[in-house]
């Protein structure tokens, strides 16, 4: 029983971390505004930002076998803060600056000042990303075409 | 958290440092016995800079690694898995690379010498010593050596006879390291013991 409880807590932590990693990965150049704050704590790079390729795999339908969709460029970085905490940054594209800042933010978010970083960094960025997404969806929804089948009266 | 706190930076310039070490590893195997040096490589726990640099350069997700008990520390394990992504195996027979230390008994028989059809499947051994000099004189012959070369690696005669147990093309290739230097001993090199003259 205790096992399942601790597992549940781990899952919740994982889900929260996935959420902020997603926001950081989508933040792009918006993170540079926080650069000074993020770099204020003493840190060193365990894995300096490096650019590489990952294979993106896709699946058609629920029972389709996976296929290789194509390769994409990914930049990754791992940082260690002075207290030993690690942060990982994985972002699409070739921006080493973005990967470094995402890694630093991830490290800070796992620490004592989690709340501070959530309210000052993640939540504003997340609201922005959601607003942008909603605007895009609204713009494309306006061009939606409704297909209507006319009654052809064959049954009569 | 404790596992993560063991991690340390590796090469400063991953691509170029690894390329330079790889070039030296090629030179070492093409001219057996010629001492190669690695510059600016970090040491890792019980691994010397030369051993660790070869690990960072040669190991990856396709190379199962076996660690001798003297080198099997949590810190080394965490860093090898993080920086190289190599699987660690407990059976020496499955290893593509083996990390050995010279200050413990060396048993070479379990390592895979390849087959006559696929000699390339053999294990490559990284053997770390305190010094590359100061042992009994041995004479080396074979491809990459003009005539003969006299080497004084501090290794017992039993080591050389174990190494010679497999018929070519089967066999083990060695990188023998000390501090920031290493030499290559491919399976094609014949090592002959010179009897010490007794006065």
Interface contact flag, B14 A86, Cβ < 8 Å: no
Residues B67 and B60: their CA atoms lie apart, in Å, by 15
Number of domains in chain B: 1
The pLDDT score that the predictor gives to residue B1 is 44
Indicate left, alpha or beta for B7 from its phi (over 0: left) and psi (-120 to 50: alpha): beta
The pLDDT score that the predictor gives to residue B193 is 82
With contact defined as beta carbons under 8 Å apart, do B12 and A45 qualify? Answer: no
Beta bridge partners of residue B149, listed in sequence order: B140
Residue B16 lies in a domain: yes
Set of chain A residues whose Cβ sits within 8 Å of the Cβ of B82: 46-47
Residue A46 lies in a domain: yes
Give the three-class secondary structure for A99.
helix
- With a CB cutoff of 8 Å and minimum separation 6, the contacts of B175 are B25, B28, B54, B124, B125, B126, B127, B182, B183, B184, B185
What does DSSP assign to residue B88?
B
- With a CB cutoff of 8 Å and minimum separation 6, the contacts of B11 are B17, B18, B41, B42, B53, B56
Element (H, E) at A35: helix A35-39
Residues B188 and B190: their CA atoms lie apart, in Å, by 6
Asked if the model's pLDDT at residue B199 lies above 70, the reply is: no
Set of chain B residues whose Cβ sits within 8 Å of the Cβ of A44: 9
The pLDDT score that the predictor gives to residue A155 is 62
Residue A136 lies in a domain: yes
In this structure, how many other beta carbons lie within 10 angstroms of the beta carbon of residue B78? 18
In the β-sheet with A43-58, what is the strand arrangement from edge to edge? Answer: A43-58, A67-81, A86-92
Interface contact flag, A85 B1, Cβ < 8 Å: yes
A-B contacts (CB, under 8 Å): 23
Residue A151 lies in a domain: no
The question of ipTM being above 0.85 is answered as: no
Going along B61-194, which residue ranges are E strands? 65-67, 97-101, 124-128, 138-141, 149-151, 173-178, 181-185, 190-193
The pLDDT score that the predictor gives to residue B195 is 64
How far is the alpha carbon of B43 from chain A, nearest alpha carbon, in Å? 15
pLDDT above 90 as % of chain B: 80
Among B151, B155, B140, CA closest to B190: B140
Residue B199 lies in a domain: no
Mean pLDDT of B9-28: 93
pTM, 2 dp: 0.82
Interface contact flag, A44 B12, Cβ < 8 Å: no
Set of chain A residues whose Cβ sits within 8 Å of the Cβ of B8: 46
What is the per-residue pLDDT across B79-92, written as a single tens digit (0 to 9) for each? 999 999 999 999 99
What is the per-residue pLDDT across B151-181, written as a single tens digit (0 to 9) for each? 999 999 899 999 999 988 999 999 999 999 9
The pLDDT score that the predictor gives to residue A1 is 31
- With a CB cutoff of 8 Å and minimum separation 6, the contacts of B29 are B144, B173, B184, B186
Domain boundaries, position A95: 7-141
Residue B32 lies in a domain: yes
pLDDT above 70 as % of chain B: 95
Going by their DSSP bridges, the two strands B149-151 and B36-37 should be labelled as unpaired
Interface contact flag, B4 A47, Cβ < 8 Å: no
Of A44, A50, A84, the CB nearest to B5: A84
Of B7, B10, B12, the CB nearest to A86: B7
Asked if the model's pLDDT at residue B3 lies above 70, the reply is: no
Residue B9 lies in a domain: yes
How far is the alpha carbon of B95 from chain A, nearest alpha carbon, in Å? 26
Domain containing B172 — which CATH number? 3.40.50.11310
In which residue ranges of chain A is pLDDT below 50? Answer: 1-6
Number of domains in chain A: 1
Set of chain A residues whose Cβ sits within 8 Å of the Cβ of B9: 44-48
Residue B14 lies in a domain: yes
Residue B191 lies in a domain: no
Nearest chain A residue to B84, by CA: A47
Residue A155 lies in a domain: no
Tokens of B190: 């014949």
Beta bridge partners of residue A67, listed in sequence order: A58
Domain boundaries, position B36: 4-186
- With a CB cutoff of 8 Å and minimum separation 6, the contacts of B179 are B48, B49, B50
Interface contact flag, B9 A45, Cβ < 8 Å: yes
Query: A76-85, B2-11, B45-54: which range is least confident on average?
Result: B2-11
Beta bridge partners of residue B37, listed in sequence order: B181
A74 backbone dihedrals φ, ψ, rounded to 5°:
-135, 140
Greater confidence (A64 vs B70) lies with B70
With contact defined as beta carbons under 8 Å apart, do B28 and B184 qualify? Answer: yes
């Amino acid at each position: 029983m205790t096992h399942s409880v601790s597992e549940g807590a781990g899952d919740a932590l994982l889900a929260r971390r996935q959420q902020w990693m997603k926001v950081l990965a989508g933040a792009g150049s918006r993170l540079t505004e926080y650069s000074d704050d993020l770099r204020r704590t003493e840190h060193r790079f365990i894995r300096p930002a490096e650019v590489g390729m990952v294979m993106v795999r896709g699946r058609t339908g629920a029972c389709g076998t996976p296929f290789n969709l194509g390769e994409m460029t990914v930049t990754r970085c791992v940082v260690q803060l002075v207290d030993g905490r690690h942060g990982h940054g994985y972002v699409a594209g070739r921006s080493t600056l973005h990967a470094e800042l995402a890694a630093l933010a991830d490290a800070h978010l796992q620490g004592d000042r989690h709340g501070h970083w959530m309210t000052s960094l993640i939540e504003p960025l997340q609201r922005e990303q959601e607003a942008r997404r909603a605007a895009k969806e609204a713009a494309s929804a306006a061009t939606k075409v409704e297909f209507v089948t006319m009654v052809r009266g064959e049954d009569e | 958290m404790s596992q993560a706190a063991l991690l340390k930076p590796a090469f400063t310039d991953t691509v170029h440092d690894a390329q330079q070490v790889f070039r030296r590893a090629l030179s070492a195997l093409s001219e057996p016995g010629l001492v190669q040096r690695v510059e600016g490589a970090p040491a890792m726990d019980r691994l010397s800079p030369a051993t660790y640099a070869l690990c960072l350069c040669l190991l990856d997700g396709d190379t199962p690694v076996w660690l001798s008990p003297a080198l099997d520390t949590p810190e080394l394990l965490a860093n090898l898995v993080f920086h190289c992504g190599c699987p660690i195996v407990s059976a020496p027979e499955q290893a593509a690379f083996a990390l050995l230390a010279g200050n413990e008994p060396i048993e070479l028989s379990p390592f895979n010498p390849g087959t006559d059809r696929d000699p390339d499947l053999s294990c490559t051994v990284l053997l770390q010593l305190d010094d590359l000099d100061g042992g009994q004189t041995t004479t080396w012959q074979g491809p990459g050596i003009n005539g003969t070369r006299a080497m004084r690696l501090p290794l017992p005669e039993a080591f050389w006879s174990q190494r010679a147990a497999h018929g070519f093309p089967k066999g083990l290739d060695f990188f023998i390291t000390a501090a920031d230097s290493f030499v290559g001993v491919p399976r094609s090199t014949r090592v002959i013991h010179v009897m010490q003259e007794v006065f």
